[in-house]
Structure 1
Amino acid sequence: MKRDRLLWITTIICFLPLILSFILYDKLPEEIAIHFNYAGVADNYVPKAVGAFGLPILMAIINIFIHVKLNNDPKKMNSPAALKYLGKWSSPILSVILLPITLFIALGYKIPIQIVSLGFVGIIIVASGNYLPKCKQNYTIGIRLPWTLNSEVNWNKTHHMAGYLWILGGISMIILSCTQMQSILLTFIILLVIVIVPCYYSYWLYKKGL
């Protein structure tokens, strides 16, 4: 019952930006930018009806999928409650942040979307990294590789190492978003390191028999 209540609450929050969409709809241009390159320049547009009303609906659908996935994990009790809540609240948070930003940019407001998005991703990575070491074997959250799922020792060691690495990587992205050194290459390198290094480390443990 508690899970159903949270699903309803988060889904309703996903739809909240629709109120702003209705208020601003007549003032919006015929096409709205929904994607921006690393320099913050729009490079993909959709009709304003799709942007204003379709995005919250899409976020609500993603939210429902995430809840169903997390609630039906056979080993869901092994996942830290904080990580599960982070996953379940990710869609509504994105909906109430991204849609208003998208609409205001469409109206001509100068919002540094690249700074906001990079900083937001960095915060999510730091929060996830903080709880990765507490994450036990499961099929939904964590670094789910054949070697980690096959060995509890491998899983624990990989997630302890990855936790510290993700925190450092997330902090680096936050710092990067607040400086003039914003670079797609540096961001790509950070993301590559926090993904590839734990995977290689897990495989290395596997080859050692762990």
Structure 2
Amino acid sequence: MALRINDTIPDLTVETDQGTLSLHDWIGDSWAILFSHPKDFTPVCTTEFGAVAQLTAEWEKRGTKVMGISVDGVEEHKKWKGDIEAVAGTPAGFPIIADNDLTVAKALDMLPADAYLPDGRTPAHSATVRSVFIIAPNKKVQLMMTYPMSVGRNFAEVLRALDGLQRTYEQPLAVPANWEVGQDVIVALSLDDAAAEAKYGALDKKLPYLRFAKSPN
């Protein structure tokens, strides 16, 4: 069964370079991001892990935990982190799941159920294991992004999307195209004008169905 937005993330027990973890226990009451990779010691992935490490203060500011996934073993992950930290110039303190049996990749619908890793495999054999999942404190998937092998992920966009999700979480709000923190937000149609103004103040009505309000604190 395909994983969809608003599905509860499977409560898998995973092996990482920081020990055995339960995904639900690890998430706890935080937001969480899982980001996956098809193989250790690959060039684009090394830059991506480095970018995540450089954003440690930004994740902490947003109460968000990050965890990598790669379909290699714990010892490879530990060695790879040395390369990542050398390139990034900063520690990579987040755990990396050792998904060498593809349990996580299949549970999160990144690879088909019959996928396997052949002897002498290359990253192409697990190419679709290249995704980002943003998960809310209720353990439900809020956003999924999947990238091709040739394009590194833009973690500035992951941060922007996380900000938008946190701004609108369990609120009758949405954010428009290219929204950034501090800009106006869109009021959901579940509130009529009177209810929206009582809750959020004066509205900027572009269209009857497109109403902006100042972003609440």
TM-score by length of structure 2 reads: 0.27
**Structure number with higher strand proportion:** 2
Which has the larger share of helix?
Answer: 1
Q: With structure 1 as the length reference, what TM-score do the two structures score?
A: 0.28
